[in-house]
Amino acid sequence: MRARSFRLLRVGVRTGGCRRPASASAAAGRRLAGLTFSGAAAEDGPYGAAWVDGHPPLLSADPASKSLLDDARVAAALDAAGALPVLGIKVSRLPSDRTASDVVATIARNLDVVRRLAV
């Protein structure tokens, strides 16, 4: 039996834009199994200093995050990659999250945005 390999591409915002060519070329090879999104902010905010690896929420999920990962960038990456079976998000809890339920709700809100844009 021949082993199959798949790739999960993490799309991050570090330079103000998604790496559309990387997602498109990986998808074209039909080995891309999913995308995971992770944001960054160009200025200090509630999730840390500018450009820190703090995983702020999507801008539409928490405008105070100052995240550069907005709906347009997520949609562009999803469009370049095509339909995928796995979508994910790496996101920090909100400063106001106090319980595990709060954190799960924050993750769900962000993942819901990604899923909505994938349709």
104 has a pLDDT exceeding 70 = yes
Number of independent structural domains in the chain? 1
Look at residue 2 and tell me if it is in a domain.
no
- H/E stretch holding 87: strand 86-90
- Which residue did the predictor score with more confidence, 39 or 24? 39
Averaged pLDDT of the chain: 81
**Residue 11 falls within a domain, yes or no?**
yes
pTM for the full model? 0.77
Residue at 1 is within a domain: no
Rounded to whole angstroms, how far apart are CA atoms 71 and 68? Answer: 10
Q: Identify which has the larger pLDDT, 38 or 2.
A: 38
**Within-domain flag for 18:** yes
Q: Which domain holds residue 48?
A: 7-117
The verdict on residue 42 lying in a domain is yes
